[in-house]
Structure 1
């Protein structure tokens, strides 16, 4: 979907930068807005330091750069510089909103959203979307003066919050894993029939997951299991090939997430909100390994799926090659259990979240 500068419809500005967890829902919303209003314009805000500078233009949306306002986690020198940084970013953001003729600002949290909320306050209507079970600072601020507040899960504590789920890409929502399986396995060089485990640790990879799963490579080979493992661009994997066994394929990054999901029978991954939403939507049984630091939100993200029977949670410190083998090998050979878990996972998601949020945003513009 590409941006058309001759459109005369509403101008929707999306603010979600930094990590894929903020950018992907913003882009899923952008696509949904254009499905409902092909005459609309969608403009994204971003900073030089986030993943958005590559992801957003490659999806065909214009990206306007603003100065980042990083949130210091502790009282330090950066905290003293913050008011000046905020003022600079807000002024730059206001100029962008005026220039593009923004009719509404939709923020998804993170350090791009805060200046967007402050710049739009009292001038342009605001809609806030939060994907996490625990809400970040930017969205707590934005929700105070937003027209509508949308959240992925109940009980976030945000005022007037409406539960809509997490907006997901069409390619994920419409994914037929079984129809694409042969193509997906051929694409990654995986065994066409062997039970297959997909492993990833977020866009940067995760060392504890990498070590535990690669340490189990010989056991996977002996059990006739194939592995597709995205180890992250800054890490590398050394796994010995076992002749005659299904391949253990290591890649730095998964460009084609749809094909990775289609190739897999089970996934072992972190439990970021976006990851949990996608994995559940495509019906993949999952072993979730929440990030050990932070405020515990990743375990909360995975909890509803686990309670429904669509996944398991393993604490990061308990993740050893032995634990990986014990949890995944019997599961990958149990077709009946895989089917039941897949069905349970799919039942927990909000597949129409992008369209629901897009209607909410366009309602705000109409008013």
Structure 2
């Protein structure tokens, strides 16, 4: 029986590949033990146990960006997270440690390295974060979601995702998905989502195009984000065929019924939307290190999506770009066809292959010995 520790979390873009990999490992190794490690504050604290995986937490210790009292305390606190990870690795008897980025991945990599446990790295964003840049220096088993990701030794395999999405046949699933969402499968349908936290800019842009949406004869399913639905309901909820939800528990239904989606460009969203062949208008989040624009680049360059700067997204964008595109079946079909040139739908299996290879390499004569003594 193998034992795997998967570390990461914070956002859906990190949690989703953790869960997808865990499920892939269970399909091929029914007796595998999987422990997922994150922080108590991240989405993983809810989503991982709900998915039926064992879950443990360590402290969230961000690296200070400037001199401060927190900077003075950082070395000791960070060393504590490494000790905690060593204890979890030892207790689980891990044969490999997989990191997907986020606060817990760096201590996971360093702990695994010190214990000579094989390390596997997966980077979701085109622009890698600090944790995975560290991990890539410690492992020969490095994967990324997007071709061209500047990460040492990274092999592009795509984004691990749920099979309900990676294997989705949108046309076949559309009728039943429409029934579950209370939509008309015959109408041109626009989906809008800002991710798990929502996007006020997208919400405001749709509200500003109220009259044009009402006149277009289209259908909208608008995922506002938790706690952000009320302003959208007040502005648009009384329109016929305008459906406002905080979130969808089955995103595959939204993808199946939609003809076009407006979305942020998080790695998970871009990967899923491209994999199912759904034409997209991406509005990258303007903060951070610009990774969302880079995540969307290959889809935009292939013709599968178009990109609008956050500052430029408003009611006029909806009226002059989005609605005409939604009512142009020929162009939408071309964008769907372009999507088919991009995705790898079996990234979960590819990453599981990499985990198996890392374990096998570690067990060979001359491979890395593993120390399992807790500190």
Any unmatched runs of 5+ in structure 2?
362-375
1:306 is matched with which residue? Answer: 300
1:17 is matched with which residue? Answer: 9
Alignment of 1:339-358 (within 5 A): 339-358=333-352
Of 253, 258, 261 in structure 2, the residue corresponding to residue 264 of structure 1 is 258
Asked if residue 207 in structure 1 is aligned to residue 200 in structure 2, the reply is yes
Asked if residue 90 in structure 1 is aligned to residue 82 in structure 2, the reply is yes
CA distance in 2, matches of 1:75, 1:346: 48
Aligned 8 A contact 1:143 1:159 in 2:
yes
Any unmatched runs of 5+ in structure 1?
1-8
Q: CA deviation at 1:240?
A: 4.1
CA distance in 2, matches of 1:93, 1:21: 22
2:155 is matched with which residue? Answer: 162
CA distance in 2, matches of 1:16, 1:293: 21
Alignment of 1:114-133 (within 5 A): 114-123=106-115, 124-133=117-126
Of 288, 291, 316 in structure 2, the residue corresponding to residue 294 of structure 1 is 288
Q: CA deviation at 1:90?
A: 1.1
Q: CA deviation at 1:74?
A: 4.7
Change (3 A) 1:232 1:242: closer
Q: CA deviation at 1:32?
A: 1.3
When the two chains are superposed, the root-mean-square deviation of aligned CA atoms in Å is 1.5
List 4+ stretches of structure 1 deviating above 6 A. none
CA distance in 2, matches of 1:283, 1:88: 45
Change (3 A) 1:76 1:310: farther
Asked if residue 99 in structure 1 is aligned to residue 97 in structure 2, the reply is no
Aligned 8 A contact 1:305 1:345 in 2:
yes
Aligned length: 357
Secondary structure of the 1:239 match is: helix
CA distance in 2, matches of 1:203, 1:77: 33
The one-character-per-residue Cα deviations of 1:36-73 (angstroms, maximum 9, x if unpaired) are 22221111001110000111111111101211222445
2:235 is matched with which residue? Answer: 239
Of 144, 149, 157 in structure 1, the residue corresponding to residue 142 of structure 2 is 149
CA distance in 2, matches of 1:122, 1:162: 25
Secondary structure of the 2:343 match is: coil
Q: CA deviation at 1:260?
A: 1.0
CA distance in 2, matches of 1:180, 1:73: 48
CA distance in 1, matches of 2:85, 2:207: 45
